[in-house]
Amino acid sequence: MNAIAASMAGIVIRVNVQVGDAVQPGQDVVVLESMKMEIPVQAEAAGTVRAVNVKEGDFVNEGDVLVELEG
Amino acid sequence: MRKVLIANRGEIARRILRTCRARGVATVAVYSEADAGWPFVREADEAVLLGPPPVAQSYLNLEKIVAIAKETGADAIHPGYGFLSENPTFARRCREEGIAFIGPDPDVIAAMGDKVNARRTMQRAGVPVVPGTDEPLASVEAALGAAAAIGYPVMLKASAGGGGIGMQVCRTPEELKAAYGTATARAKAYFGCGDVFLEKYIDDPRHIEVQILADAHGNVVHLFERDCSVQRRHQKVIEETPSPFLTEEARQAICAAAVAAAKAVGYVGAGTVEFLVDADQNFYFLEMNTRLQVEHPITEETLGLDLVALQLDIAEGKPLPFTQEDVAARRKGHAIECRVYAEDPVTFLPAPGRIVAYEPPSGEGVRVDDGVEAGLTVTPYYDPMIAKLVVSGSTREEALARGRAALAAYRIEGLKHNIPFLQRVLESEPFVQGRYTTHLVQELQAQEQKGARQS
Contact partners, residue B78, CB within 8 Å, separation at least 6: B4, B5, B6, B7, B8, B16, B102, B308, B311
Calculate Rg over the CA atoms of chain A.
11
> According to the model, what pLDDT value does residue B50 have?
98
Query: Residue B163: its pLDDT value, please?
Result: 55
What's the pLDDT score for residue B157? 86
Count of CA atoms in the C-beta half-sphere (13 A) of A9: 17
Given a contact cutoff of 8 angstroms between Cβ atoms, the answer to whether B10 and B371 are in contact is yes
Packing angle of the helix pair B307-315, B10-23 (nearest 10 deg): 70
User: Which ipTM score applies to this complex?
Assistant: 0.84
DSSP conformational letter for B56: G
* Min distance B351 CA to chain A CA atoms (Å): 7
Report the SS3 class of residue B80: coil
- Provide the pLDDT for residue B190: 78
Residue B347 buriedness (CB in 10 A; 0-12 / 13-18 / 19+): exposed
Q: Kindly state the average pLDDT of the residues A47-68.
A: 95
Q: Does A31 touch chain B (CB under 8 A)?
A: no
Amino acid at B441: V
The predicted structure's pLDDT at residue B194: 85
A42 vs B: CB within 8 A? no
Q: Would you give the distance in Å from CA B285 to the centre of its chain? A: 15
Is the CB of A33 inside 8 Å of chain B's CB atoms?
Answer: yes
Q: Rounded distance, CA B239 to CA B232, Å?
A: 12
Check CB contact under 8 Å for B380 and A9.
Answer: yes
Helices B419-427 and B396-409: crossing angle in degrees, nearest 10, is 150
DSSP-assigned states of every residue in B121-162: HHHHTT--B--B-SS---SHHHHHHHHHHH-SSEEEEEEEEE
Residue A6 has pLDDT above 80, yes or no: yes
* Dihedral sign, Cα of residue B168, residue B171, residue B175, residue B176: positive
Strands B46-51 and B26-32 turn out to be parallel
Inter-chain CB proximity A39 and B382 less than 8 Å? no
Test B349 with A36 for CB contact under 8 angstroms.
no
Q: What is the pLDDT along chain B (455 residues), one digit of tens a residue?
A: 999 999 999 999 999 999 999 999 999 999 999 999 999 999 999 999 999 999 999 999 999 999 999 999 999 999 999 999 999 999 999 999 999 999 999 999 999 988 778 888 999 999 999 998 878 899 999 999 999 999 999 999 887 766 566 788 999 999 999 999 988 888 888 778 888 889 999 999 999 999 999 999 999 999 999 999 999 988 999 999 999 999 999 999 999 999 999 999 999 999 999 999 999 999 999 999 999 999 999 999 999 999 999 999 999 999 999 999 999 999 999 999 999 999 999 999 999 999 999 999 999 999 999 999 999 999 999 999 999 999 999 999 999 999 999 999 999 999 999 999 999 999 999 999 999 999 999 999 998 888 877 76
Residue B264 exposure: Cα atoms within 13 Å on the Cβ side: 21
Distance in angstroms (rounded) separating the CA atoms of residues B101 and A47: 55
Find chain A residues with C-beta within 8 A of B350's C-beta.
8, 10, 34-37, 39
Residues from chain B that touch A11, judged by Cβ atoms under 8 A, are 54, 380-381
Alpha-carbon distance B235 to B77, whole Å? Answer: 27
The residue among A12, A37, A58 with the most chain B CBs within 10 A of its CB, best to mutate, is: A37
CA dihedral B272, B276, B279, B281 (to 10 degrees): -50
Q: Tell me whether residues B350 and A7 touch, CB distance under 8 A.
A: no
Structure confidence at residue B167 (pLDDT): 82
How far is residue B379 from each of residues A42, A54, B32, measured CA to CA in Å?
Answer: 23, 19, 11
Q: Using CA atoms, how far apart are residues B250 and B278, in angstroms rounded to an integer?
A: 11
Can you point out the beta strands (E) in B125-259?
154-162, 165-170, 196-200, 206-214, 220-232, 235-241
Report the relative pairing of strands B269-277 and B206-214 from DSSP bridges: antiparallel
Residues of B at the A interface, defined by Cβ within 8 angstroms = 54, 233, 342-343, 349-353, 379-384
> Given the DSSP bridges, would you call strands B3-6 and B76-78 parallel, antiparallel or unpaired?
parallel
Indicate yes or no: CB of A10 within 8 angstroms of CB of B380. yes
Q: How many contacts does A have with B, using Cβ atoms within 8 A?
A: 38
- For residues B217 and A36, which has the higher predicted lDDT (pLDDT)? B217
Q: Are the beta carbons of A34 and B383 separated by less than 8 Å?
A: no
pLDDT in the model for residue B162: 62
The type of residue at B62 is L
Best B381, B386, B418 member to test A by mutation, with max A CBs in 10 Å, is B381
Q: Which residues of chain B does A8 touch, with a Cβ-Cβ cutoff of 8 Å? A: 349-352, 380
How far apart CA B31 and CA B158 sit, in angstroms, is 40
Residues of A in contact with B352 (CB under 8 A): 8-10, 34-35
Rounded to whole angstroms, the Cα distance separating B52 from B39 reads 18
Active site residues of B: 291
pLDDT score of A65 more than 60: yes
